[in-house]
Amino acid sequence: MQFCGQHRKITTKYLLFLLSGQTVFSTFNNHTGKTEGMNEHHRENTIIRMFHVYKRYGAKNALVDISIDVRKNEMLLVTGPSGAGKSTLLKLLYLGEPVSEGQILIEGINLSRISNKRIPFLRRKFGIIFQDYKLIPTKTVFDNIAMVLEVTGESFRFIQKKVSSVLRTVGMEGKLNAFPPSLSGGEQQRVAVARAVVGDPKIILADEPTGSLDSESASIIMGLLKGFHDRGTTVIIATHDHEIIRKTKGRALYLKEGSIQSEDVKPTKKRPITI
């Protein structure tokens, strides 16, 4: 309830921003070289837009001039060698770090103009699988996953049902009361996946979701993510696993030293390619 109110307010704010933010858009248009009309159509379907985004850590350029659009219900693969900036790219989206330069819009909300109070509500749009899992070692598997629903104020009954069902999907129903340090690497990763999807997020950010998994478990997890994608969720996967890249339909972004080296679009079943 609270969230919807929040959302409406933010949308209003975004409209105001659009009225004042023409320069940014024209820059973008020049870059993509598309007509204004197409862009208008686009904007409605676009859930994430990045305009000339830079991220610097001291002298180090982690990301250089990234401009991409992600449509609603798109499957985007981000790939590249170690240290290319894959995780950094995801981090910028959920405001794990601020951008150094450029603009990011998520559902029309400009991240550089968002107030601190609204950051939590922004983050609730995302389900994130962190590369290092980020499980709380002092809480049980159940509590780790339930946390996502607790912060939005769901009832205990609902939380219990939902967490159990999601754990079953990732094959971890037996480890409900285990603590993360007592799990194997792959089991931890599966818990991290369960936590990311339990809140039915609009966007799933998956950073190496199968790095610690054998091929069988990996394909279960990939199947899960594809299932969410089929039901309308936008999915962004950062990975260096050739297997995943080969098997997954969608757009692949190849990063190297912070820049986009190539965009490789593979045919999806239903949708025509728009970028």
Partner 1 sequence: MKSGLIIFFIKRAIQDIFNNRFLHAVTITTIALSILIVSAFGLFLSNAGDIMDSWKKGIRIMAYLDKDVELKQIAELEQKILDLYGVADIRFISKAEALQQLKAEMNRQTSLFEDLKENPLPDVFEVQMMASTQNWEKIEVLAAQIERLPHVGGVEYGQHWLGRVIGIFNLFKFTGIVMACIFFMASVLIVANTIRLLFYSRQQELEIMRLVGATDGFIKAPFYIESVIQGILGGITGILVLFVIFWVITSNVEQDFSAGFFNLRFLPVGMFLGIIFGSMFAGWLGCYLSLKQFLKV
Ligand X SMILES: Nc1ncnc2c1ncn2[C@@H]1O[C@H](COP(=O)(O)OP(=O)(O)OP(=O)(O)O)[C@@H](O)[C@H]1O
Which residue ranges make up the site for a copy of itself (CB under 8 A)? 57, 80-83, 86-88, 131-132, 182, 184-187, 189-190, 207-208, 211-217, 240, 242
CB of 54 to a copy of itself, least distance (A): 17
In the three-class reduction of DSSP (H, G, I as helix; E, B as strand; rest coil), residue 237 is classed as strand
Rounded CA separation 11/125 (Å)? 14
123 binds, among partner 1, ligand X, a copy of itself, none (CB under 5 to 8 A by kind): partner 1
Which residues fall within 8 angstroms of residue 41, CB to CB, at 6 or more apart? Answer: none
CB of 52 to a copy of itself, least distance (A): 23
The residue among 85 and 250 lying less far from ligand X, judged by its C-beta, is: 85
132 binds, among partner 1, a copy of itself, Mg ion, none (CB under 5 to 8 A by kind): a copy of itself
The residue among 180 and 199 lying less far from a copy of itself, judged by its C-beta, is: 180
CB of 214 to partner 1, least distance (A): 25
Q: Are 180 and 144 in contact (CB under 8 A)?
A: yes
Which residues fall within 8 angstroms of residue 248, CB to CB, at 6 or more apart? Answer: 75, 77, 222, 226, 237
| Cα distance from N-terminal residue to C-terminal residue, the chain | 35
Which residue ranges make up the site for partner 1 (CB under 8 A)? 94, 96, 116-117, 120-121, 123-124, 128, 130, 134-139, 147-148, 150-153, 195, 199
156 scored as a contact of ligand X (CB under 6 A) = no
CB of 185 to ligand X, least distance (A): 3
- Spell out where the chain has E strands: 46-57, 60-71, 75-79, 101-106, 109-110, 126-129, 203-207, 234-238, 251-256, 259-265
Residue 172 burial by Cβ neighbours in a 10 Å radius (0-12, 13-18, 19+): buried
Rounded CA separation 70/61 (Å)? 23
CB of 52 to partner 1, least distance (A): 26
CB of 216 to partner 1, least distance (A): 28
Interface region with ligand X, contact rule CB under 6 A, candidates 2-10, 39-47, 115-123, 184-192:
184-192
The residue among 80 and 209 lying less far from ligand X, judged by its C-beta, is: 80
In the three-class reduction of DSSP (H, G, I as helix; E, B as strand; rest coil), residue 150 is classed as helix
The residue among 30 and 177 lying less far from ligand X, judged by its C-beta, is: 177
Residues numbered 63-122 forming contacts with ligand X, rule: CB under 6 A: 80, 82-88
Q: How many CB atoms lie within 10 A of CB 159?
A: 20
Q: Which two tokens stand for residue 94?
A: 């959920």
The residue ranges that bind ligand X (CB under 6 A) are 57, 60, 62, 80, 82-88, 131, 182-187, 212, 240
